[in-house]
Amino acid sequence: MIAWIRIVLSVLVLGLATLVLAPFQILFLWRDMPQRRRLPRLFHRIACRMIGLRVHVHGRIDARRPLMLVANHVSWKDILALGSVADVVFVAKAEVRQWPVFGVLARLQKTIFVEREQKRAAGQQASEIGSRLADGEIVVLFPEGTTSDGNRLLEIKSSLFGAAASAVPQSPTGTVHVQPVALAYTRVHGMAMGRYHRPIAAWPGDIALLPHLLGVLREGALDVDLVFGETIDFARDTNRKLVSRQVEAALRAMLVARLRGR
């Protein structure tokens, strides 16, 4: 009974927050005001509080721009966690635009939608990401291309780093800063989350969203560690595949360390 009260209360508060904040965000987007980047952080903090997601930050986000954050992808909760600690914009697959509720929220945050299967549009999409980076926005990229089970890092797609290359000519310094960020879900109700319980946090693509969402709300107490790694400078002559391997190695090392409690 208590779990269902928590679920209903969380849904009501999140609905109210959306109704109150959405008109302001629409105005900020229409006028292209700087507040459009900051308001989503407030919403993400409210959402984290209501679903019981406690975010622990290790390291610091790089203060230099243009900045691309490259993170492993476990669940839709990654967006709440990252969005609660920085004014960021996400890169998402195009079908997210059509999702109920989540699609609307993504558009309100001015998410960059990409058609990953359409190679013809790849250059244009990379150019849009590059322009947003050059404009000072912090762009979050999930280079695995899908969600994992939270226990491991999937193969990173080096082609997605073409966006960083597109932003280099527009950067005042001729450099784009690429910072790896590991997301590790480590505790549930304050207890260490072992491999068996980590599916509570993870959302593999073959699991329906609604049952998973209800399960998270029912638990009401998850801890996630955000680990900001060493930044890699991406310049005109940088090898994209080399950067991809460096990011992959950094993400895997940080993820394994946090999952082992180090």
Average pLDDT over residues 132-148: 89
Pairwise pLDDT comparison (256 vs 197), residue with the higher score = 256
State the greatest distance between any 2 C-alpha atoms of the chain, in Å, as a whole number.
60
How far, in Å, CA of 60 to CA of 131, rounded?
Answer: 24
Taking phi over 0 as left and psi of -120 to 50 as alpha, with beta for the rest, 110 belongs to left
Which fold would CATH assign to domain 2-259? Glycerol-3-phosphate (1)-acyltransferase (3.40.1130)
pLDDT tens-digit readout, 54-102: 999 999 999 999 999 999 999 889 999 999 999 999 988 888 888 777 8
pLDDT of residue 262: 67
Per-residue confidence (pLDDT) for residue 217, from 0 to 100: 73
Q: Which residues face 89 on adjacent strands?
A: 139
Quick one: what percent of the chain has pLDDT higher than 90?
46
Q: What percentage of residues in the chain have a pLDDT greater than 70?
A: 88
Q: Domain limits of the chain? A: 2-259
Choose the weakest-confidence range: 14-23, 116-125, 241-250.
116-125
* Average pLDDT of every residue of the chain: 86
In whole angstroms, give the CA distance from residue 68 to residue 228. 12
Instruction: Compute the distance between CA of residue 139 and CA of residue 121 in angstroms, rounded to an integer.
Output: 19
**pLDDT tens-place string over residues 97-139:** 887 778 888 999 999 988 766 555 556 777 788 888 988 899 9
pTM confidence score: 0.92
> What tens digit of pLDDT does each residue of 179-194 get?
999 999 998 877 888 7
Quick one: pLDDT band at residue 51, thresholds 50, 70, 90? Answer: confident
